[in-house]
Chains A and B, each alone.
Chain A
Amino acid sequence: MKKMSKLSAVYLIVVFFILYAPIFYLIFYSFNSGGTMYQFEGFTFDWYKELFKDSRLLIIVLNTIIIALLSAAISTIIGVAGALAIAYSRKRRVKNTLLSLNNVLIVSPDVIIGASFLILFTMIGIKLGLISVLLSHIAFCVPIVVIMVLPKIEEMSPTMMFAALDLGASRWDVLSKVVLPYITPGIFAGFFMALTYSLDDFAVTFFVTGNGFTTLSVEIYSLARRGVSLNINALSTILFIFTMILVIGYYYIAKRNRPNGMGDRR
């Protein structure tokens, strides 16, 4: 391989700089004792202290985490069932239709999802709040889980199932003792992905959340609309660290997810 030219290295460094500068800029000013994001006056932890004293915000964080965990768990169950349904549908047309319908919510802009869910919940009379947010998070996480789990099912050799059936396993046994253990890494990856989608979502939640209930993204939006306040900077530092932990966790799972030889379709 040729060594990279200086120009290329500079280009990459500039791109990396631009990608990371805003994030570190936020973190840097979270320690500013002055109240602005352009004049660093002195070092302080005050914004963090204020953050941890703000019980309303802590409840919002808790809400966000509960919504994320619940929606990730439930959407993983539905998504795995969906992936199995798609993988084992024998007619090609059924399979393609299911896949297309599955992908609708992945490619739809968040605004469309949010607006249409708002109509849906109002029509069937679900009060806007925790339940409507939870339901919509489950709804848009399901296709992501399907996308993450499906390749794992399809790479599995059907001979493993036939072997199990030949050895007298019931269908339930085949599912619980052969298929599910094999696709477990895919399921974990799907769960993680659903978790991050739910934690990250703003637009859909913004539409279906009522007056009483807020998640972190919505709260950041309404704070940011009021202008700069260094509480948000402190919050972003904490979220940055948290995101790092999540990413490392995800990559740890993804690494184990690589084909491990046994039972792979060749």
Chain B
Amino acid sequence: MRNTSRNFYLIPYVLWIILFVVTPLFLVLYYSFFDIEGHFTLDNYKKFFTTVYLGMTLSSFWYAFLITLFTLIIAYPTAYLLTKTKHKQLWLLLIILPSWINLLLKAYAFLGIFGTYRAANSFLKMIGIGSKQLLFTDFSFIFVSVYIFLPFMILPIFNALNELNPSLVDAAHDLGGSSWTTFRRVIFPLTLDGVKSGCQVVFIPSLSLFMLTRLIAGNRVITLGTAIEQHFLVTQDWGMGSTIAVFLIIAMVIIMIVTGKKVVSKVL
């Protein structure tokens, strides 16, 4: 298409980019330089580098890392075995289906399930064994997050495995490679892109899951997302919230560079 018509398509789209992509990012950066009374200051950044916020950032990364790791450990074999099934597209659809159910309903379901343990716990306490609190713990937070992210990890790995040429695997076997060697030297390196995309879709959102920390972890786990939500909607300290957001954006960019630029949408 020539220039005139091209400009015509560009207008609404570029307006959208300017208004909803570029401007909000700049506004976050701009607000990070103001304190709660609206004075220009660098205090927010100073505050961020105190032990409180750095500790929180570290623990947030640690949780995100654990969530990504466990999701990967469960997802890879699942994706691999799915490619071996007879009606693999149908099975894949069934694996993806739960990801279409509203996230909050799934979190709520776990409220109930862990509540069962609470009932069991009170029983244990009554007969004198003592209770183990399952809801409102790190474990429950990680478990529910892994549950929620599992389909998003399986999908890109499945696609990568599906595109893998089986004759390569046969060749490795023919040349005397054991199953483990074949996996380590052939299958895994060739599906690494899928793994990277999967890690990207899991790691970035798990830095910011504030609703899960609120519902499941009972404010015990504070992620970067929880802190941002707290500052914006509870204490109204937008400056500090924006500062944390700036660091979250930086983290996001670094992860994008590490895992490659290929963007995967959350569903299919």
A residues contacting B by CB (< 8 A) are 1-2, 4, 8, 11-12, 15-16, 18-20, 22-23, 25-26, 29, 36-39, 77-79, 81-82, 84-85, 88-89, 98, 100-120, 123, 136, 139, 142, 144, 147, 161, 171, 175, 193, 196-197, 199-200, 202-203, 206-207, 216-217, 220-221, 224-225, 227-228, 232, 236, 239-240, 243-244, 246-247, 251, 254
Complex-state Cα separation, A242 to B4, whole angstroms: 44
Chain B residues closer than 8 Å to A88, beta-carbon distance: 1, 6, 9
Complex-state Cα separation, A100 to B256, whole angstroms: 11
Contact indicator B107/A37 (Cβ below 8 Å)? no
- Whether B38 sits at the interface, judged by CB under 8 Å, is no
Number of interface residues of B (CB under 8 A): 85
Contact indicator A144/B104 (Cβ below 8 Å)? no
Which of the residues A23, A85, A206, A232 comes within 8 Å of B101, measured between beta carbons? A23
| Contact A107:B204 (CB < 8 A) given known A16-B95, A88-B6 | yes
Query: Could you mark each residue 1-45 of chain B with 1 if its beta carbon is under 8 Å from any beta carbon of chain A, else 0?
Result: 110111001111110110111111101100100000000000000
Contact indicator B245/A225 (Cβ below 8 Å)? no
A52 to chain B, nearest CB (A): 18
Contact indicator A38/B85 (Cβ below 8 Å)? no
Complex-state Cα separation, A202 to B101, whole angstroms: 12
In the complex, which residue of chain A has the Cβ closest to the Cβ of B228?
Answer: A111
- Whether B68 sits at the interface, judged by CB under 8 Å, is no
Contact indicator B81/A12 (Cβ below 8 Å)? yes
Contact indicator B24/A116 (Cβ below 8 Å)? yes
Chain A residues closer than 8 Å to B200, beta-carbon distance: 107
Chain B residues closer than 8 Å to A39, beta-carbon distance: 119
B131 to chain A, nearest CB (A): 15
- Whether B249 sits at the interface, judged by CB under 8 Å, is yes
Chain A residues closer than 8 Å to B21, beta-carbon distance: 101, 104-105
Contact indicator B245/A111 (Cβ below 8 Å)? yes
| Contact A22:B113 (CB < 8 A) given known A16-B94, A88-B1, A112-B208 | yes
Contact indicator B78/A171 (Cβ below 8 Å)? no
A67 to chain B, nearest CB (A): 14
| Contact A116:B27 (CB < 8 A) given known A107-B256, A193-B267, A202-B103 | yes
Contact indicator A220/B105 (Cβ below 8 Å)? yes
Which of the residues A119, A228, A232 comes within 8 Å of B238, measured between beta carbons? A119
In the complex, which residue of chain B has the Cβ closest to the Cβ of A147?
Answer: B265
Contact indicator A119/B31 (Cβ below 8 Å)? yes
- Whether B194 sits at the interface, judged by CB under 8 Å, is no
- Whether B192 sits at the interface, judged by CB under 8 Å, is no
- 6 smallest A-B Cβ distances: which pairs? A116-B24, A37-B112, A109-B208, A82-B13, A22-B109, A139-B20
Chain A residues closer than 8 Å to B11, beta-carbon distance: 81
In the complex, which residue of chain B has the Cβ closest to the Cβ of A144?
Answer: B265
Contact indicator B25/A240 (Cβ below 8 Å)? no
Contact indicator B245/A240 (Cβ below 8 Å)? no
Contact indicator B84/A19 (Cβ below 8 Å)? no
Contact indicator B265/A193 (Cβ below 8 Å)? yes
Can you report 23 A-B residue pairs in the complex whose CB atoms are below 8 A from each other?
Answer: A4-B84, A22-B147, A23-B98, A23-B101, A25-B112, A37-B113, A38-B116, A79-B13, A81-B10, A82-B13, A101-B22, A104-B21, A107-B200, A112-B228, A123-B27, A139-B20, A142-B13, A142-B20, A147-B265, A197-B267, A202-B104, A207-B232, A217-B103
